[in-house]
Amino acid sequence: MPSSDFLQQVGLPHYLILSAILFVAGMAGVLLRRNAMVILMSVELMLNAVNLSFVAFSHYLGQMDGQVMVFFVMTIAAAEVSVGLAILVSIFKRFKEINIRFFEHLKG
């Protein structure tokens, strides 16, 4: 049971812990889920967790750089999703299958 002032004063650690939990949850999704779509979503979740910690740091350290990083992360996330979804769509069109284990057969 966390102490009461942990509940009372919200500080950097709270945000960090939150983002850590989100990150780990996303990682679990990436590692354990079978649906490629869901895996992509989990990746998004991880990225968001990282963004959160970035913003928290930039807020509490009073520096903008963290927010810039968030900017970049968002851009890269968008790019990654668009390509990933395009690949998934084209594979699904062809094989009617988005189970991650199935992708092992796409060698060569």
Partner 1 sequence: MTQQTLMAILILSPLVGFLINGVRYKKHSAEVAGAIATGAAVISFISALIMVIDLVGMPAEERRITVQFFDWITIEKLKISAGFTLDQISAIMVLVVTGVGSLIHLFSIGYMRHDKGVAKYFSYLNLFLFNMLLLVLGDNLLVMFVGWEGVGLCSYLLIGFWFTDKEKAAAGMKAFITNRVGDAAFLLGMFVLFLTFGTLNFQEINHMVPLTSELMWMAPITLGTLFLFIGATGKSAQIPLYVWLPDAMAGPTPVSALIHAATMVTAGVYMIIRLNPLFMMAPNTMMVIAIIGGLTAVLAATIGMTQWDIKKVLAYSTVSQLGYMFLACGVGAFGAALFHLMTHAFFKALMFLGSGSVIHAMHEEQDIRKMGGLKKHLPYTHATFFVGWLAIIGAPLLSGFFSKDEILWQSFHSPRGHVLFWIMGVLGAVMTAFYMTRLMALTFWGKSRVSKDVHPHESPMIMLIPLIVLAILSAVGGWIGIPHIISEILPGQPGNILETWLEPLIKAVPGTEAGEPSQEWALMATSVTLAAISAFVAFHFYVKDPAKPKKVAESLGKVYEVVYNKYFVDEAYFGWIINPLVKLSKGIWYYVDVNFIDKTTYVVADLVRGGGQFVRGMQNGNIQQYAMYIGLGVVAMMTYVLMR
Partner 2 sequence: MSADVFLFWFLAILTLAGGLTTVLVTNPIYSALALAFAMIGVSALFVTLNAYFLAGVQLIVYAGAVTVLFVMVLMMFDLKHEITAFTRGKFTGLVKSGTVALLAGILVGAIAMTSDLFLKISGTPEVALGGGDGTKELGKILFSKYIFGFEALGILLLIVAIGAVALARSKGGTHAKQ
Residue 104, contacted partner among partner 1, partner 2, none, CB below 5-8 A by kind: partner 1
Ranges within 12-41 binding partner 2 (CB under 8 A): 12-18, 20-29, 31-35, 37-38, 40-41
**Residue 103 touching partner 2 (CB under 8 A):** no
Would you say 36 and 103 are in contact if contact means Cβ atoms under 8 Å apart?
yes
**CB-nearer residue toward partner 2: 1 or 77:** 77
**CB-nearer residue toward partner 1: 71 or 102:** 102
Show Cβ contacts of residue 29 under 8 Å, excluding neighbours closer than 6 positions. 38, 39, 41, 42, 45
Length of the chain: 108
Q: Tally Cβ neighbours within 10 Å of residue 57.
A: 19
**Residue 96 touching partner 1 (CB under 8 A):** no
Compute the distance between CA of residue 79 and CA of residue 86 in angstroms, rounded to an integer. Answer: 11
Positions touching partner 1 (CB under 8 A) are 27, 30-32, 39, 100-101, 103-104, 107
